[in-house]
Amino acid sequence: MGFWSRFLRDRLAVLGLGIVLCFFALSILTPWIAPYDPSAIDVDNILASPSSQHIFGTDDLGRDVFTRMLYGAGISLKVGFVAVGIATLIGVFLGAISGYYGGLVDIIIMRFVDIMLCFPSFFLILAVIAFLEPSIFNIMAVIGLTSWMGITRLVRAEFLSLKQRDFVLAEKAMGAGSLRIIFIHILPNAMAPVLVSATLGIASAVLTESALSFLGIGVQPPTPSWGNILTLGQSTLGVAWWLSLFPGMAILITVLGYNLLGEGIRDAIDPRLRS
């Protein structure tokens, strides 16, 4: 049974894929389907409750929450993919070098990984952000630069196993260079767990960006973000419950979708890992 056959038989995995594709489509189509300008202020509809005119209500400046959440979905998608892309590039490179060469190179890289893992990721991100100007580009870079350690360990473990296989020994006997063996022959066979980790990492990046924006050191207003909408909802919870409910549900559903998709990919790649 092939990968797609196993994947499509997993209903939760298909649900996760559907959620991810739905938010991806919304983020792309936002300029055409958003009913209002995300920055348009309407003093006549400040903190208006959900209605046919504003289905998710409005905020303290009369801006349409549904529109701002649609644009916020695009922010979350950008942060998730770019941050995970940075982390994956770093993790794959260091893991490949560490696992293939071993010895002193392996010791140095893995001790550096251990040092990085000693610091709680979120507090490390907070410390770095404190010295930088809060912006979406800095957020993506910092999340990516502080979340590559797990991928490094995964790739290293795969390389330690694969470099002893017959096809690698045959390439060495034929005189193939180390870089060719690493990136042409071993790496493609080591990417399955990386794909799973990257999918789960997007959920983590979305959650981290929302938390930073909620604390006021992430994406800055007036740029819409699920996190900064939640921040406003905290101060107006007694009179504007929709400012907390809808972005909170969006974050929950998005993270759940990526987690279900990642678990489904893992089980489809290797059914023996199914718990």
Task: Show pLDDT as tens, one digit a residue, over the chain (275 residues).
Answer: 577 888 888 899 999 999 999 999 998 999 999 888 888 888 888 888 898 888 999 988 889 999 999 999 988 888 889 999 999 999 999 999 999 898 899 999 999 999 888 877 777 787 777 777 777 888 888 889 888 999 999 999 989 888 888 777 787 778 777 788 888 888 888 888 898 899 989 999 988 888 888 888 878 878 888 888 888 888 787 788 888 899 999 999 999 999 999 988 888 886 555 54
- Which of 269, 126, 150 minimizes the C-alpha distance to 200? 150
Q: What is the pLDDT of residues 3-49, one digit of tens each?
A: 788 888 889 999 999 999 999 999 899 999 988 888 888 888 888 88
Range 3-273 has CATH code 3.40.50.720: no
- What single DSSP character describes residue 186? I
Nearest to 210 by CA among 177, 250, 181: 250
Domain boundaries, the chain: 3-273
Please name the residue ranges forming H helices in 174-273.
178-180, 191-214, 226-235, 242-269
Residue 22 exposed, middle or buried by CB count within 10 Å (0-12, 13-18, 19+): middle
**How far are the Cα atoms of 5, 87, 234 from residue 215, in angstroms, in the given order?**
43, 23, 11
Q: What is the pLDDT of residue 253?
A: 94
- Residue 195, classified by CB atoms within 10 Å of its CB into exposed (0-12), middle (13-18) or buried (19+), is middle
146 neighbors 126 (Cβ within 8 angstroms): no
CA pair distance 275, 25, nearest whole angstrom: 32
pTM comes to 0.87
